[in-house]
Amino acid sequence: MEEITWLDATGQADLVRSGKISARELVEHSISRIEKLDPEVNAFIHTSFDKARAVADRAPAGPFGGVPFAVKDLFQQSEGDPYHYGTRFLKELDWRAPADTWMVSKLRAAGFVLVGRTNTPEIGAWTTTEPDSYGPTRNPWDLRRSSGGSSGGSAVAVATGMVPAAHANDGGGSVRIPSSANGLVGLKPTRARVSLGPELGEAWAGMTHESAITRSIRDIAGILDVVGGMAPGDPYTAPTPKRPYVQEVGVPVGRLRVGIQVDHPNVALDPEVVAAVRSTATLLEELGHIVEEAHPAALDAPAAEAQVLMPVFQYLDIVRWGRAIGRELTSDDLDQDNWALGRYGRDVTAVAYLEGLYALHRWCRRVAAWWNHDDAGTDGGRGPGYDLLVTPTLPKLPAMLGELRPVPGQPLAGFLKSGEYVSFTSPFNATGQPAMSLPMHWSADGLPVGVQFVAAYGREDLLIRLGSVLEQARPWAGRHPGITG
């Protein structure tokens, strides 16, 4: 079973399909590891073991038939299971989901067996997973450190071998940040690649994207194949891929023009982070790619007017959940910073919101032009024609637990400090471009350090091709944290 623990979801599914192991045996192994390891790391906040056993006994079909899987307790709901959105008030009400979201339905149809739901910060608004409702999820590489956020629970569940893959979503880096902190693969797909239905058409002005955290490139490709695609009533969708993403694994990537970024105008970078990007750049050169220090100039001057957008959506969450539970939420229901952010959003006018949105759209066009290979670039100019941008995923090593929490009596101080950790990730939530974090480096103290790869809009295929090359050139599959049972 030790080999099965570290086998990816694709490999586990192959074993079930070949009859070498049953779905029930896989699920029991996952349950055993959760019961053994989770008390130390706090990745799972709800488990559904009896349901999982019943599903496994029915021998689920599909490309991932019988493989254990976890769902983050944010956005995606599973029928009858607790859904608390990282909050105390929903936990106290024992709020439960009335139905599956469409993504969860697709995961079930693919054969995944849902064993539980994973921890997330309150309303998903933090880059660390330390909600008042359920306490901190600890990084298994160093239990004193943050697991990242907001998909910290899912990342730790995968990193410790409790499940081979887990659901995650990303509104500013929430797939990529915990992937970096835990030595995993995290791909934020192109905007609208995965439907947010049935309740939502888009979230956070189109900046929130659904995906997964995995150990292998072939897993993220396969999961994207089963959950992607337009659903009825979606306001828009991502460009249709030319073929299934699993068919991109191992395909030659060609010679790429790559820009690397190893500085930031507002945040000092840890030397380990710089070393991670530079060593990756050297590897890319050795593989025959053209590598230059270059990045879109617009990244150094974000659209200040757009800062009003997120607080508006935080306030909308406060209003919507108040209606759902039948009373207005108060400052006693949320942590200090989320409440303050919502109060700020309440006072944003409709005109200020739209001005911020339009300013963001103009800025996004300037960023995206950097990838343009056509004669007529954005605003009539020629784009420089880069294929990839390579940056740090995080500007620093994972924070110590408590470091990014709200500071009593100083509203938003903790939130703003937490926000430093999205410096390289959040721009591509705004542009909607696919971006992937890969575990390309380990610090002198043995901490994983992710490197981010950003492609043009709709080009997940390029990221998957390159990722499969790097996975062979600098393997990470054999690296596991000390807390592994």
Q: What is residue 381's predicted lDDT score, i.e. its pLDDT?
A: 52
Mean pLDDT score, 385-413: 97
Tell me the pLDDT tens digit for each residue of 163-181. 999 999 999 999 999 999 9
Please give the share of the chain, as a percent, with pLDDT higher than 90. Answer: 96
Residues labelled catalytic: 72, 150, 174
pLDDT digits (tens, 9 = 90+) for 244-266: 999 999 999 999 999 999 999 99
- The predicted pLDDT at position 485 comes to 65
314 pLDDT band (50/70/90 cuts)? very high
Helices and strands per DSSP (H, E), number in the chain: 16, 11
On the question of pLDDT at 442 being above 90, the answer is: yes
Cβ atoms of 430 and 207 within 8 Å: the answer is: yes
**CATH tag for 2-473 (out of 3.90.1300.10, 3.40.50.300, 3.40.50.2000, 3.40.50.720):** 3.90.1300.10
Average pLDDT over residues 142-159: 98
- pLDDT for 113 equals 98
Band (377; pLDDT cuts 50, 70, 90): very low
Sequence-ordered list of residues with C-beta below 8 angstroms from that of 310, at least 6 positions apart, any chain: 125, 204, 341, 345
372: pLDDT strictly greater than 70: yes
**306 close to 205: Cβ distance less than 8 angstroms:** no
370 phi and psi, to 5 degrees?
Answer: -60, -30
Contacts of residue 186, Cβ cutoff 8 Å, sequence gap at least 6: 151, 155, 168, 170, 175, 176, 178, 179, 180, 211, 213, 214, 220, 436, 437, 450
Q: What is the DSSP secondary-structure string of 11-22?
A: HHHHHHHHTSS-
Q: Is the pLDDT of residue 378 over 70?
A: no
User: pLDDT at residue 376 above 90?
Assistant: no
pLDDT in tens, 200-219: 999 999 999 999 999 999 99
Average pLDDT over residues 115-134: 97
Average pLDDT in the 32-41 region? 98
- The confidence score (pLDDT) of residue 191 equals 98
Share of the chain above pLDDT 70, in %: 98
For residues 464 and 482, what is the distance between their CA atoms, to the nearest angstrom? 29
- Cα(418)–Cα(402) distance, integer angstroms: 11
Strands (E), 272-324: 290-293
